[in-house]
Copies of this chain bind each other. A is one copy, B any other.
């Protein structure tokens, strides 16, 4: 019933609706949403329908109740605890990223193998990777961000799998496959950039003609 991009679209709806809400709007029509997000209004209605979001014929949708429903779908009733494995530049940047907490995501610890990264006293603790498995089990962590060097990526994924982790957002350039128990979503920044470069170069070529 739910298809691949549907949750990401739902998150886009949420962003837009929160914006509209902050401007004082109470109601919204499917084509208000579809216009700004450049999709069809029927897709918006279909997404809403699939998630049990209903409107009134002629009256549109009530923004407050859509937002409430979306948070319900996303399970926003409880704070999601997330750890970061690999506190290099990218890991550190994400560790200090301010955008998570207002979406109910809390970075509760970082893990690294370099002792000079460790931090116990102030802020979010950064611990030795050896303590990962115990920490994950004791704190019932299901989600992690992986930002270790490529060299140790495979080893670390195996470690995480063994710890009972449920999901990994993988920023290393190694592409990992999900298993029954462990969902791994890969973000390859270099590939994203190369893909963009390809599109732009292609566009440039076509303009020449």
Given contacts A8-B191, A183-B203, A187-B187, are A167 and B97 in contact (CB under 8 A)?
no
Nearest B-chain residue to A82, judged by Cβ: B193
Q: Which residue of B lies closest to A204 (CB)?
A: B166
Contact of A194 among B105, B192, B204 (CB under 8 A): B105
Cross-chain contact B167 with A183 (CB below 8 angstroms): no
Please indicate the chain B residues that have their CB under 8 angstroms from the CB of A105 in the complex: 190, 193-194, 197
Q: CA–CA, A77 to B82, complex, Å?
A: 41
- Assess whether A166 is in contact with B74, with CB atoms less than 8 Å apart: no
The answer for the CA separation of A187 and B195 in the assembled complex, in Å, is 13
Residues of B within 8 A of A166 (CB): 200, 203-204
Is the C-beta of A20 less than 8 angstroms from some C-beta in chain B? no
CB proximity of A189 to chain B, nearest CB, Å = 7
Whether B38 pairs with A177 at a CB distance below 8 angstroms is yes
Contact across chains for B11 and A195 when beta carbons are under 8 A apart: yes
Q: Is the CB of A89 within 8 A of B96?
A: yes
Cα A121 to Cα B80 with chains together (Å)? 43
CB A61 to nearest CB in B, in angstroms, measures: 20
Q: How far is the CA of A150 from the CA of B15 in the complex (A)?
A: 13
A173 within 8 A of B: yes
Q: Is the CB of B75 within 8 A of A201?
A: yes
Contact indicator B142/A200 (Cβ below 8 Å): yes
A59 CB to nearest B CB, Å: 27
Give chain B residues whose Cβ lies under 8 Å from the Cβ of A142. 200, 204
Question: Which A residues are closer than 8 A to B by beta carbons?
Answer: 7-8, 11-12, 15, 37-38, 73-75, 80, 82, 88-90, 92-94, 96-97, 99-100, 103, 105, 142-143, 145, 150, 166-169, 173, 175, 177, 183, 185, 187-201, 203-204
Which 3 residue pairs spanning A and B have beta carbons closest together? Answer: A89-B93, A167-B200, A166-B200
Q: A142-B200, A183-B200 are in contact. List 10 more A-B contacts (CB 8 A).
A: A8-B195, A11-B194, A38-B177, A89-B96, A94-B189, A99-B173, A143-B200, A167-B200, A183-B199, A187-B192
